[in-house]
Amino acid sequence: MYSFASSQLQTTPGNFQLDGMMMRYSLFVPRLYNFALSLGMQPGKITPSRAFCSDESQGYPIILLAKHFGGFPFNHGRVGGIVATDRHGPHASHGKDMVIVQASHVGYDPENATFGNYRRLQREDQCATANCGKIFHTIEWYLDEYHYAQDNIFLERNGDDFLITVDNQLLSAHRDEGLMLALKKLIAVANDDRFRFIRAQSTSKTFLASAEFITATGNAWPETKKPIGSLLTADLFHFERHFSRDIEGLSHLEGNLIDPMPWIVTSKEPMLLAAQINTQIEFDRTYRSIVKEHSYQNKNLLFVSGINIDISPREGQIFPLTKFVPWAAYIQKETGESYTLEQKELFEILAEQKIGNDQKIDLEEAIESMEHEKEVKIRF
């Protein structure tokens, strides 16, 4: 069972900036290629790798990586944008210089300016579904728990008394899973350390609200009982849930997200924030695995992490207009020098790179030429 610790998060969601940090993939990839060359990497000797989700919306970025780096990228990713760190060794053996791009992804609907869905062209009705689906199904249970709490905690003002009514299930300290309230932040405590109880109902209990909570809400309490709604902020609860912390397995994404989940479920865009946080955690974890990886030693390596924003394709479009938002990078040179780049400096370095690439391959021409190659007989 994993629960939110009272200490500060190592990863602060607010550190990830979006505004002014995006670039189209058609610009990002050639800039990334030229940045790699500026680090001393050699054209034709770079093995790109991607740690993307398996979603078909990630196909366009993969095609662009193949076009500009001159080879199909190695697969370093698991569903949800988790990095398969046990693949470092195989990746290292495939080339002289190494480039790894990790990105969680999130859909974007330009018609209503919301994140989390993506138009599926291959569906009969071309409807929009959750994107990333893995992230959605991971946070869905937590969202349901949060919405239940929002609808089953009530506030009311009775004269000078500020009252809070809490569903009995949310008061129970014997639950193994669920949304756990920080009750002492919500309910007034008497001198004997007991909650200031007012009355009991069939499925709930009413208490005097704490001075801390009253102050935080700005005394904006209804005269008649109303649900707490958005006043149930991230600092007032945490989650507990049983799951297997299988490293880089089915529940790895959930392990990344459970601690900051209160911020995710209270966010205006939960899917976007979940993608950001997962990328932040995966960069930190993968960076540490790369530093320890013997097979990457004495090699030039560039590891870049960010999020892919998949803009739903309009009618007539084959691919999404994907945008990349860089988060951080780790650079390691064959001479032994290494350093990291934070978001702003990484974006600025990428933005100043040229977008021309004389070494890029014409995929159509390359495929056509292979069709005319003399057949090679396979002998047994």
Contact 232, 239 (CB under 8 A): no
pLDDT value, residue 13: 64
- Which residue, 312, 309, 311, 350, is CA-closest to 328? 350
Same domain, 257 and 235: no
Look at residue 337 in the predicted model and tell me its pLDDT: 95
Parallel, antiparallel, or unpaired: how do β-strands 153-158 and 226-227 relate?
Answer: antiparallel
CATH number of residue 293's parent domain: 3.40.1050
Residue 167 and residue 231 in one domain: yes
Mean pLDDT across 271-296: 96
Per-residue confidence (pLDDT) for residue 12, from 0 to 100: 56
Do 118 and 256 have their domain in common?
A: yes
Is 377 inside any structural domain?
no
Q: Is the pLDDT of residue 3 over 50?
A: no
pLDDT score recorded for residue 318:
81
Assess if residue 374 is contained within a domain.
Answer: no
pLDDT tier at 128 (50, 70, 90 boundaries)?
confident
Is residue 164 domain-shared with residue 40, that is, in the same domain? no
Nearest residue to 330 via CA among 319, 343, 340:
340
In which domain, by residue range, is 125 found?
2-7+18-140+248-368
Residue 265 counted as domain residue: yes
Q: What is the mean pLDDT of residues 319-339?
A: 95
Residue 55 CA to residue 132 CA, distance in Å, equals 8
Task: Please tell me the distance from the alpha carbon of residue 34 to that of residue 349, in angstroms, as a whole number.
Answer: 11
Determine the length of the chain.
Answer: 380
Using one digit for the tens of pLDDT, what is the confidence trace for 34-71?
999 999 999 999 999 999 999 888 999 999 999 999 99
Arithmetic mean of pLDDT, 258-284: 96
One domain for residues 34 and 163: no
Burial of 248 (0-12, 13-18, 19+ CB in 10 A): middle
Is the pLDDT at 372 greater than 70, yes or no?
yes
Percent of the chain having pLDDT more than 70?
96
Task: Let me know if residue 317 belongs to a domain.
Answer: yes
* Alpha carbon distance 167, 204 (integer Å): 4
Select from 210, 241, 272 the last residue of a domain: 241
User: Residue 52 falls within a domain, yes or no?
Assistant: yes
Position 186 scores a pLDDT of 97
Do residues 341 and 284 both lie within one domain?
Answer: yes
Choosing from 241, 263, 295, the residue where a domain stops is 241
- 163, 155 contact by CB (below 8 A): yes
Please tell me the distance from the alpha carbon of residue 1 to that of residue 274, in angstroms, as a whole number: 20
Q: What is the pLDDT of residue 7?
A: 34
Query: pLDDT tens, 184-235?
Result: 999 999 888 899 999 999 999 999 999 999 999 987 788 899 999 999 999 9
Half-sphere exposure of 307 (CA within 13 A, CB side): 28
pTM of the model: 0.91
Angle at 4 between CA 151 and CA 250, to 5 degrees: 95
What is the pLDDT, as a whole number, of residue 6?
A: 36
Number of domains in the chain: 2
Same domain, 259 and 173: no
Please say if the pLDDT value at position 245 is more than 80: no
Q: Are residues 109 and 161 in the same domain?
A: no
Q: What is the per-residue DSSP string for 216-265? A: HTTT---SS-EE-GGGS-GGGEEEEE-----TTSTTHHHHHHTTTHHHHH
Average pLDDT, the chain: 91
- Predicted confidence at residue 362, as pLDDT, reads 85
Domain assignment present for residue 267? The answer is yes
pLDDT above 90 covers a percentage of the chain that reads 76
Do 203 and 218 fall within a single domain?
yes
Task: Say if residue 273's pLDDT is above 60.
Answer: yes
The last residue of one of the domains, among 207, 241, 275, is: 241
Distance, in Å, from the CA atom of 67 to the CA atom of 26, rounded to the nearest integer, reads 11
Q: What band does 309 get if pLDDT is binned at 50, 70 and 90?
A: very high
Which tens digit of pLDDT belongs to each residue from 136-181? 999 999 999 999 999 999 999 999 899 999 999 999 988 999 999 9
Give me the pLDDT at residue 241, please: 92
pLDDT the model gives residue 332: 97
Residues 265 and 222 in one domain: no
100: pLDDT strictly greater than 90: yes
Residue 91 within any structural domain of the chain: yes
Does 270 share its domain with 126?
A: yes
Cα separation of the two ends of the chain:
54
β partners of residue 78: 82
Check pLDDT > 60 for residue 1.
no
Within-domain flag for 380:
no
Same-domain status, 118 and 49: yes
Q: pLDDT band for 255, please (50, 70, 90 cuts).
A: very high
Confidence class of residue 14 from pLDDT cuts 50, 70 and 90? low
